[in-house]
Amino acid sequence: MTDSWVDSAERIGSDLHLVLSGPGGRRAALIRALRDAVRDGRLAPGTRLPPYRSLAADLGVARRTVADAYAELVAEGWLTARQGSGTRVAERAEPLRPAAPASRKAPPRAPGPRHDLRQGSPDGSAFPRTAWLASYRRALQHAPGEAFGPGDPAGRAELREALAEYLARARGVRTEPGRIVICSGFAHALRLLFGGGVLRGPLAVEAYGLGFHRGLLAAAGVRTVPLPLDEDGARVDRLGRERAVLLTPAHQFPTGGPLHPARRAAVTDWARARGGLVLEDDYDGEFRYDRKPVGALQGLDPERVIHLGSVSKSLSPAVRLGWMVLPEGLVDAVLAAKGEREAWASVLDQLSLADFIASGRYDRHVRRMRQRYRRRRDRLVAALAGHAPHVEVTGVAAGLHAVLRLPPGSEASAVEAAARHGVALDGLAAFRHPGTDMPVTDGLVVGYAAPPEHAYGGALEALCGAMPPP
C-alpha cells in the first residue's frame, strides 16, 4: 500500500517541502532541490530524511529516483546512510546562507533613557508571574471544549461574571454580566464606540488628557470640545449641545484629583436631560492612597454612564484585556460593531483573568501594589522636599504619577534638563487640548511606577538633579 504524505510526515516528525524543476529530468531536479535545502539551512545537519517510498509517493516520482538521488548525495558527502538510522543530512554540511543586503539591515536602536519616569506603565518587574501562571494552568485545565471555538463577541461568560462581581464590590458599579463587553483596552473601546458608529460627536473632553485618544477620535471623524479644569475637576457646567462627555472622574488625568460630588451629580443630570452619555475612564480607580477609593460614577446612573476599564495599570499593558459596562440599549450595537470575526482578546487570557479575580489573587495583587506605589509616592515627595522644596507636588492622592508645578516658562528647559540627566518624562503641555482657553500651567508629569525597585532611588536622584533653581 502506498504511503500518504501525512504518513511520511508523521514518521519523520516534520514536513519536507521540495520543488522539482530545471533541466536533466526528475532525478537531477531532486538532487538539486536537496542540495539547496541543505545549503540554505532548511535541512539542518542531523535531520532524518523520509524513506524512499514515502518521499517518492509525496513527490509523485519513482522509488528508484529517490534511491539514486540519495545515493549520489551520500557519495558527495551531503548525506549519510547507516543501517537502522536511515538517511540523514551530514553533520559536517554547513548551511551557506546568503548575507542579507545592506539596505535591509535593521538600523541600530538608540539607547533608551537610564531612568523612565514617563506616566502610563506599572512596574513590569512586579507582575505576579507565579499567581498568574497558576490561574492560567487552572483555566486551561478546566476550559470546556467550546472555549476553543469561534467564541462570543461579548467575551467569555466566566470573565464577565467575575467582573460583574468585582466591579460591584470594589468600584460600586451596578451591572450584570450581559451588559459587559470584553475588549482589548480603553483605546479599543473608543474605536468600537466611535469608529464603529455606535456613538457620534461632538464629544466633550477634559482640557488635559492623552493626545493619543484625541488623535484616535479625530481619525474617527469626532470633534472634541475641551472642558476647563479647576481644583474640583472638569467644569461640567460648561457642557452644551455635545452628545457625550469623556471624563476621568476618579482621578483626573493627568492633573490629579477626583471630580467633585456636586459635579458628579450635575453631569449625570445633564446626560438625562440632554439624552446624552457620560464615558467614564476608570484608568486607575483602584490606586487611591489617603482614603477609600472614590466609587465609580456609573453607580449614579447605569443607563447614562458607560464605564470603561482595563488591567493595563493594575496588572500590565501586556495583558490586552479591558471591558465596557454598557447601558442595556447599547449592548447590541457594540456587539455589531465588534463583528462576528473581530480580532478578539485571547480566550485563554480571558479565562485566566476570570480565575485570577474569582480566586482572590487579583485583590491581593492590587493591595500589594497599592502599598508599593504609595511608598514610592512618599519617597518622591520626600526627595523633592529635600532637594527642591520650591517645586510643588500635586495630584498624589491617587494614581501612578504626580505633577510637579513649575515657574512660568520653565517647562521646556526642565524637560531638556531631565533628558540630560538620563530621565525620560513628559511636560504638562504634552497633554493640553489645542482648543482649550485655559491659562497655561507649566509642569512635569512624573510616573513613579515603572522603574524596578532597585533602580528607583537612582531615578529620584537624577530627577532632583534636573529640577530648575528657585
In what order do the strands lie in the sheet containing 277-281?
180-183, 322-325, 305-310, 277-281, 244-247, 203-206, 224-227
Over residues 207-233, the mean pLDDT reads 93
% residues pLDDT > 70 (the chain): 92
Q: Are 294 and 288 in contact (CB under 8 A)?
A: yes
Q: What is the pLDDT of residue 111?
A: 63
Report the CATH number of the 365-465 domain. 3.90.1150.10
Q: Please state which of the four CATH numbers 3.40.50.620, 3.40.50.720, 1.10.10.10, 3.40.50.200 is assigned to the domain occupying 5-89.
A: 1.10.10.10
SS3 193: helix
Q: How confident is the model at residue 461 (pLDDT cuts 50, 70, 90)?
A: very high
Q: What is the pLDDT of residue 362?
A: 96
Over residues 162-169, the mean pLDDT reads 96
Higher pLDDT, 313 or 294: 313
The alpha helices in 127-257, defined as continuous H runs, are 129-142, 157-171, 186-190, 211-219
Q: What is the pLDDT of residue 130?
A: 96
314: which 3 cell numbers? Answer: 493594575
Q: Where in the chain is the domain with CATH 1.10.10.10?
A: 5-89
Does domain 125-363 correspond to CATH entry 3.40.640.10?
yes
Q: Does pLDDT of 109 surpass 80? A: no
User: H/E element holding 325?
Assistant: strand 322-325
Higher pLDDT, 311 or 46: 311
Q: Does pLDDT of 345 surpass 80? A: yes
The alpha helices in 16-120, defined as continuous H runs, are 25-39, 52-59, 63-76
Q: Are 316 and 369 in contact (CB under 8 A)?
A: no
pTM above 0.75, yes or no: yes
Q: Where in the chain is the domain with CATH 3.90.1150.10?
A: 365-465
Q: Where in the chain is the domain with CATH 3.40.640.10?
A: 125-363
Condensed to tens digits (0 to 9), the pLDDT of residues 418-446 reads: 999 999 999 999 999 999 999 999 999 99
Q: What is the pLDDT of residue 93?
A: 47
Least confident range of 6-20, 32-46, 106-120:
6-20
Q: Does pLDDT of 335 surpass 60? A: yes
